[in-house]
Structure 1
Amino acid sequence: MIKIAVFASGNGSNAENIIRYFKDNEEIRVALIISNKANAYVHTRAKNWGVPSYTFSKDEFEKGDPILQKLREYQIDFIVLAGFLLKIPDSILKAYPQRIINIHPALLPKYGGKGMYGDHVHKAVLQAGEKESGISIHYVNERYDEGDIIFQARCPVLPSDTCEELAQRVHRLEYEYYPQVIEKIAKQACGGIDKKNDEQ
């Protein structure tokens, strides 16, 4: 069984979609939710699905060790970011090489980087007069949104689009494709896993 931890900072709709996708999967399941905000709605969603969730401060994330201890406690094999706004520290990157992925609501390398999340991205896409947008799923490295791209899906940007309308179109791509890509990449990365993280 491949155990996934989902990191989320806010509402958690993507996190819940991922939990739902894997709920009857015999090879992969979401075993843990981690957030940097105690009042994030993702905790409520996790509780409704019976998935344990924990909050860590920005300082704890920067140190990395408290999060690593929790990941080891739950024997986590693979990490998924779903609307998570903090940078992943080097200690976690080193413990999970090529086993941390993120989804970004635009076609990277455009409209990425620090501060580019959620509606900030969609507003920038609209202001630039882009004809298309979409999603990018990528490996996580030490810089925001600069890890190798795994998968992209595109959608049109209509001249009449509001930020909310474009966001809804991008969300549909996220819900459809992110769980599928997680399943594929997690199996590739963890197929021969030997619980190395327990030994570090």
Structure 2
Amino acid sequence: MQFGGTESMKLIEKKRKDILDAAIREFREQGFPAARVNRIAELAEVSKRTLYKHFESKEVLFQAITDILLEEIAATPKLRYLPGAPLRGQLFSAVQDYVGHLTGEEYMGLNRLVMSELLRDQDLAQAFFARAAMQDGPIQALIAEAMQAGALRQGDPGFAAGQLLSMVKHFLVWPQFLMGAKAGVDADAVIADCIDMVLAHYGPPD
């Protein structure tokens, strides 16, 4: 009896995932306003009734997709500051990995989909960014521990991480997000320069 229940749960989870995958495809191809629930059900190979059992409206479907994006952000491993290793090298590896995550094909496609709708709906955008702001990114956690250890002067770690990542994203993320092509720059050199600027500003007092 327990085995049957487990199989049933797996089937429910699979149908939910199939519906979400179909919705992502339909939203990408048609845009949220023009997307049709009938088409999503067809792509997912489920009945419209089954779709509505999982998601009561197109808006709820989109909310579930934004949840996936936020979960992707939250799943990024939090990094610990290592007192025995140079901070510059730790920041370089962390930023390099973070940029690689942001520019991955799957994440980038999902991000474009969500952001296009957030630009259209300010209330949805405010709710999304309020939830995103509650999550400490890996760079912020690393900078916070470096400040606590005295490797950086005291300050707001979230603000410092935002300064660093804003510069890096300007050169390495936004061109790919907006134009679909990587910027013609040396990514490692950009990351190194941005880190050096932040370290020059937040370096520990002599």
Q: TM-score normalised by the shorter chain: which range applies?
A: under 0.3
Structure whose CA Rg is larger: 2
Structure (1/2) with the larger helix percentage: 2
TM-score, normalised by the number of residues in structure 1? 0.26
